[in-house]
Structure 1
Amino acid sequence: MSVDGGVLEFEDYVRSRQDALLRSARRLVPDPVDAQDLVQTALVRTLPRWEGIADKKLADAYMRRVMINTRTEWWRSRRFEEVPTGDLPDACVDDGAEQRADREMLRDAMRVLAPKQRQVVVMRHYDQLSTEETARALGMTTGTVKSTLHRALARLRQELEHGRYGYARKEGRCAA
Structure 2
Amino acid sequence: MAHGEVLEFEEYVRTRQDALLRSARRLVPDPVDAQDLLQTALVRTYGRWDGIADKRLADAYLRRVMINTRTEWWRARKLEEVPTEQLPDACVDDATEQHADRALLMDIMKVLAPKQRSVVVLRHWEQMSTEETAAALGMSAGTVKSTLHRALARLRQELESRAADESAGPSARVFEREERERCAA
TM-score class, shorter: 0.3 to 0.5
Structure with bigger helix share is 2
User: If you compute each CA radius of gyration, which structure gives the higher value, 1 or 2?
Assistant: 1
Higher relative contact order (CA 8 A, sep 6+): 2
